[in-house]
Amino acid sequence: MLPMTWVDMWFYTHITLWDTIIIKTIP
């Protein structure tokens, strides 16, 4: 398998970023 492309990395970081925001926002 090829390493993740920059698009995959952007998507992954974007999703985790939103996950963190949601977790911190919702009690």
Specify the pLDDT at position 26: 72
Specify the pLDDT at position 27: 67
Using CA atoms, how far residue 7 sits from 3, 10, 17, 19, in Å, is 11, 5, 15, 18
**pLDDT tens-place string over residues 1-27:** 566 788 888 877 778 878 888 888 876
Specify the pLDDT at position 18: 81
Please report, for the chain, the start and end positions of each structural domain, with discontinuous segments joined by +: 1-27
Specify the pLDDT at position 10: 82
